Structure 1
Amino acid sequence: MELNQVYFWTNTIKDWKRLLQPDKYKHVILQSWQELVSRGVVCIYGFVIMPNHLHIVWEMLEPNGKEIPHASFNKFTSHTILADLKQHHPQVLPFFSVDDSDRLHRVWQRDPLAILMDGQEKVEQKIEYMHRNPLHERWNLVDSPENYRWSSAPFYETGLDEWGILTHYKDRF
């Protein structure tokens, strides 16, 4: 992903495991985004956190030290979740084992999907898609998008940003 471009980004848990089902891991994701937003290295226009993946429409504004912000996000969330699994759920760790030379475990699948959003219409389509994800028959998590706490849908419905991380996409496009 290039700096100062808006992307629809999908990040998936290794082997589509439902690792993000517990709220504590959703909080890890939100904590990482809060840190990146507070540092001014990303701008987030919309998101949804599902049990085994997440979608986000965001913009990388500048490097986070020597890293692109999405790499910092993956590193922080992986380390934090793996530390919790080791301490509280060691029986789950084997599901995330890998035979890589640089690591023993992997939380996120390799090569997240990044799609350039080059206009307001595309952004609106992806945000609508994200917000409807929890209603999909596969998940059936809520009855309307704004009732799903783990997305930006409540922000777009009420204007309230529970997590303090969102910028309305119309402020960009």
Structure 2
Amino acid sequence: MSSRNDDRIHMHQADPQLEPEFRAFMGIMAFHSFLENQMCDHHPGAELTKLQSSIIVRLKAPKRLGQLARETSSLPSTMTAAADQMERMGLVSRQRDPNDRRAWLLALTEAGQQLRHEYTRLSRRLLQDLLHLDDVELETLARIGTKIHTNIQHVVQNPQLIDELDTSSLERTPA
């Protein structure tokens, strides 16, 4: 059980009589709450902020700071400050972009790669050992998660999509 003060309402089982949309929302909220609490309680980079942990996860390969800022919906100045601190911690290094000598890439150091490996191991343990997801279910969840994330990023970058949403068209005739 998590020692964090989390919102237990998300942990109750969804009523099977609820519409699938609501059960999906409730499942996503419970999933997020559970994983976030477990990662915070057991994660190997306890001294890192959520943004810094997100950078570690996203740096499978070197990336520009601007790209990381967009991926995390952070200001470039916030990303620079996080990268500076992580560089002092020995987790990342800056290197010239071989395709554009004016640009810099952020890359994991050996210590950063080891921490990323620990995050991967912990994630796998949580998803497979605790939540009992097999490889097929994990791949399906990853595909759906990627689709959701991509679409959320699109909406965040185009807020007029929410404003243009005609809520009357959301009404659904009960089956």
TM-score normalized by structure 1?
0.28
Name the larger-Rg structure: 2
TM-score normalized by structure 2?
0.28
Comparing both structures, which one devotes a greater share of its residues to helix? 2
